[in-house]
């Protein structure tokens, strides 16, 4: 159990103590001998001091000196490293090293005391847990999927009215090219429908990496539910798109071609979602994914065979045509439409049908089996992308290197070793109150400058003149709330500050104290000029001059009560931050 300064009653309940400071083990052993160890180092716990409080403060540079008990030897700060080395020579540390030097006999250990499998929970239970988690996230993000469906409907209506069937003729190859344009728009629109997978996946990666590194579940139990649970959503979106656009545009009226078109739209959506997941898993950052994803989309579209026909692609780039999923999708969509009997009339050359001539114009393979080749290719790319996504999650780590944390003592030693002009000096500062407690500070000053009596310069400090603030007979009123008037209060104003007088001086830290509701924040807001309502009376001066709010607001800083104030920072740091 890890505790920070437990109560003495709680501390006495433990048998063994492990004291850690600055990442090093200072003591590890029986609770009864921990005080003995520090007494051997020259430190003694006062009678009225809790042992836990003593253990936390005895390794601190600020608090260590007050526990120094050997008055015959001048006090010297004992570092954490020195404590750790002394513990190895202490009888508890020696005994611990002797015990650790004996190899463990595995034959005496029970098999139940060790874990022999990477994941202790059965695989099916892990898969079910990830499935339930994915379904819960889909329900929580239902607005995203509803918005996508609405977007699909709106764009489908727009495309159906742009390529409206009353204006879509089938007289010549030019009319057929318009149908090819409608097919291209259908393919590209459903391609980008999967773009939302990229930001959603990247947003979930930090949590996934933590689960993976802690062996919560294997990566494939995360990717499988992510893939299968999105299939019904994709089917619904594909049906919505095809129902609105197919007969509105005037594609082939046969039922078989309608369902073939629907299957292609669904496969394009699944392929696109898998591709954007791969981009997310490989790039792992939204900034990198936007750049890398744009490059991948550029290659997929440019080498897809519709922006630049296959015959016009340079020979050294033809391989890109065969690995572009959109080239297979374009072939399948075009073949499904152009082999409809409506396009069987002779073309301008008189030797081929209008549909085949259109396919030849766009350098599309004019064989019916290319539809099923396109279906198989899209299905294969979908599986390939999801497998690559799983492998990326399995082997790639989050972007960014881990930063090592070093203690102030090690940092000082590194600075001393890297700067030959500086030498450590121990400066003892006596307390202003004259008590026996002294603050010990290690200050590193340049030798040449210290000999000349010049203080070290760090950074740049803008010169300024500290100013005093005084206020006399400050009163603050607000309009009487309607609730209080209903209770019989006759006054029109409620007084919150009454004849408050005081002063704030440079170099003097003043604490404004009072019970809750006493008016501390109200007074500070009035003096700082932050009150935009109410009525203020009294005299407020800055170094004897009447306060001008326009000037005062430009030369002053005000730390709001609603700011984030951490107990680990000083008042000065809080003011600087605010």
Q: What is the tens place of the pLDDT at every residue in 152-163? A: 999 999 998 898
Once rounded to an integer, what is the mean pLDDT over residues 437-464? 43
Looking at the fold, whether 500 and 371 belong to one and the same domain comes out as no
At which of 367, 395, 423 does a domain end?
395
Looking at the fold, whether 173 and 225 belong to one and the same domain comes out as yes
Looking at the fold, whether 166 and 64 belong to one and the same domain comes out as no
Once rounded to an integer, what is the mean pLDDT over residues 525-553? 87
73 in any annotated domain: yes
Looking at the fold, whether 286 and 376 belong to one and the same domain comes out as yes
- Residue 83: the pLDDT is 92
Query: Per-residue pLDDT for 446 more than 80?
Result: no
461 in any annotated domain: no
Pull the structure tokens for residue 194: 């999967």
Query: Per-residue pLDDT for 246 more than 70?
Result: yes
Q: What are the b/e assignments for 414-441, b being 16+ CB within 10 Å?
A: eeeeeeeebeeeeeeeeeeeeeeeeeee
Q: What is the CA radius of gyration of the chain?
A: 38
Distances (CA, A) of 131 to 86, 211, 393: 54, 15, 17
- Residue 382: the pLDDT is 96
Once rounded to an integer, what is the mean pLDDT over residues 558-564? 69
356 in any annotated domain: yes
Place of tokens 């009653």: 9
At which of 395, 413, 437 does a domain end?
395
**Bridge partner residues of 475 (DSSP):** 537
441 in any annotated domain: no
Once rounded to an integer, what is the mean pLDDT over residues 435-460? 40
198 in any annotated domain: yes
Of the given ranges (224-233, 259-268, 455-464, 478-487), which has the lowest mean pLDDT?
455-464
The more confidently predicted of residues 138 and 458 is 138
Looking at the fold, whether 384 and 475 belong to one and the same domain comes out as no
What gap in Å lies between CA 411 and CA 23, rounded to an integer?
A: 14
**Contact (Cβ atoms closer than 8 angstroms) between residue 484 and residue 478:** no
Looking at the fold, whether 283 and 385 belong to one and the same domain comes out as yes
- Residue 48: the pLDDT is 85
Confidence of residue 336 (pLDDT cuts 50, 70, 90): very high
- Residue 366: the pLDDT is 86
Give the domain extent around 35. 8-104
- In the chain, the number of structural domains is 3
137 in any annotated domain: no
Confidence of residue 432 (pLDDT cuts 50, 70, 90): very low
- Residue 346: the pLDDT is 80
Looking at the fold, whether 147 and 100 belong to one and the same domain comes out as no
Looking at the fold, whether 270 and 352 belong to one and the same domain comes out as yes
- Residue 463: the pLDDT is 64
Confidence of residue 327 (pLDDT cuts 50, 70, 90): very high
Q: pTM score, two decimals? A: 0.60
What gap in Å lies between CA 450 and CA 444, rounded to an integer?
A: 10
In tens, the pLDDT along 298-309 reads 999 999 888 888
Query: Per-residue pLDDT for 445 more than 60?
Result: no
Query: Per-residue pLDDT for 210 more than 60?
Result: yes
Pull the structure tokens for residue 104: 């463990």
- Comparing CA positions, the residue from 75, 90, 8 lying closest to residue 44 is 75
- Residue 438: the pLDDT is 37
At which of 361, 378, 395 does a domain end?
395
Looking at the fold, whether 274 and 379 belong to one and the same domain comes out as yes
Looking at the fold, whether 152 and 273 belong to one and the same domain comes out as yes
Once rounded to an integer, what is the mean pLDDT over residues 164-174? 80
In tens, the pLDDT along 359-401 reads 888 888 888 999 999 999 999 999 999 999 999 999 999 987 6
**What phi and psi, each to the nearest 5 degrees, are found at residue 437?**
-80, 135
Query: Per-residue pLDDT for 460 more than 60?
Result: no
Looking at the fold, whether 386 and 477 belong to one and the same domain comes out as no
- The Cβ of residue 532 has, within 10 Å, a number of other Cβ atoms equal to 6
Mapped onto helix, strand or coil, the DSSP state of residue 372 is helix
- Residue 265: the pLDDT is 95
Of the given ranges (6-15, 432-441, 479-488), which has the lowest mean pLDDT?
432-441
Looking at the fold, whether 369 and 504 belong to one and the same domain comes out as no
CA angle 30, 36, 39 (to 5 degrees): 150
- Residue 212: the pLDDT is 92
- Residue 402: the pLDDT is 65
Q: Name the percent of the chain lying above pLDDT 70.
A: 86
């Amino acid at each position: 159990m890890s505790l920070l300064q437990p109560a003495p009653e709680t501390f006495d309940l433990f048998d063994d103590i492990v004291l850690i400071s600055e990442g090093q083990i200072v003591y590890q052993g029986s609770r009864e001998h921990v005080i003995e160890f520090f007494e051997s180092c020259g430190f003694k716990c006062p009678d009225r001091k809790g042992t836990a409080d003593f253990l936390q403060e005895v390794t601190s540079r600020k608090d260590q000196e007050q526990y120094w008990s050997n008055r015959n030897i001048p006090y010297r700060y004992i570092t954490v490293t020195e404590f750790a080395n002394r513990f190895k020579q202490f009888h508890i540390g020696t005994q611990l090293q002797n015990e650790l030097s004996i190899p463990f006999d595995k034959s005496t250990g029970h098999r139940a005391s060790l874990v022999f499998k990477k994941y202790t929970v059965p695989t099916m239970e892990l898969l079910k847990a990830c499935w339930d988690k994915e379904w819960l996230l889909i329900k929580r993000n239902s607005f995203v999927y509803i918005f996508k469906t609405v977007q699909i409907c709106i764009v489908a209506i727009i495309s159906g009215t742009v390529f409206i069937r009353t204006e879509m003729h089938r007289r010549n190859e030019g009319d057929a090219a318009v149908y090819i344009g409608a097919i291209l728009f259908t393919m590209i629109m459903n391609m980008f429908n999967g773009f939302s997978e990229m930001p959603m996946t990247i947003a979930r990666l930090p949590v996934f990496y933590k689960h993976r590194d802690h062996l919560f579940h294997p990566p494939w139990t995360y990717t499988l539910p992510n893939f299968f649970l999105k299939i019904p959503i994709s089917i619904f979106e594909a049906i919505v798109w095809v129902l609105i656009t197919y007969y509105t545009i005037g594609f082939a009226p046969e039922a078989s071609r309608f369902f073939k078109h629907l299957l292609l739209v669904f496969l394009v959506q699944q392929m696109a979602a898998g591709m954007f997941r791969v981009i997310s898993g490989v790039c792992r950052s939204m900034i990198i994914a936007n750049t890398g994803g744009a490059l991948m989309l550029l290659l997929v579209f440019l080498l897809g065979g519709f922006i630049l026909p296959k015959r016009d692609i340079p020979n050294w780039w033809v391989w890109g045509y065969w690995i572009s999923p959109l080239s297979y999708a374009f072939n399948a969509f075009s073949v499904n439409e152009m082999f409809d009997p409506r396009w069987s009339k002779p073309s301008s050359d008189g030797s081929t049908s209008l549909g085949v001539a259109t396919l030849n114009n766009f350098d599309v393979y004019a064989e019916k089996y290319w539809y099923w080749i396109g279906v198989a290719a899209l299905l294969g790319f979908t599986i390939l992308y999801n497998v690559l996504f799983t492998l990326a999650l399995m082997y790639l780590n989050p972007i960014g290197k881990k930063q090592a944390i070093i203690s102030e003592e090690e940092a000082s030693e590194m600075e001393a070793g890297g700067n030959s002009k500086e030498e450590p000096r121990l400066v003892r500062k006596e307390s202003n109150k004259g008590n026996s407690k002294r603050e010990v500070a290690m200050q590193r000053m340049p030798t040449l400058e210290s000999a000349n009596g010049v203080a070290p310069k760090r950074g740049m400090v803008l010169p300024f003149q500290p100013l005093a603030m005084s206020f006399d007979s400050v009163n603050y009123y607000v309009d009487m709330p309607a609730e209080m008037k209903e209770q019989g209060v006759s006054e029109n104003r409620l007084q919150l500050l009454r004849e408050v007088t005081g002063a704030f001086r440079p170099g003097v830290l003043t604490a404004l104290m009072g019970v809750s509701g006493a008016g501390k924040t109200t007074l500070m807001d009035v003096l700082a000029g932050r009150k935009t309502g109410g009525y203020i009376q009294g005299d407020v001066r800055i170094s004897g001059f009447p306060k001008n709010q326009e000037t005062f607001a430009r030369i002053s800083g005000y730390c709001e009560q609603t700011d984030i104030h951490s107990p680990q920072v000083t008042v000065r740091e809080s003011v600087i931050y605010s």
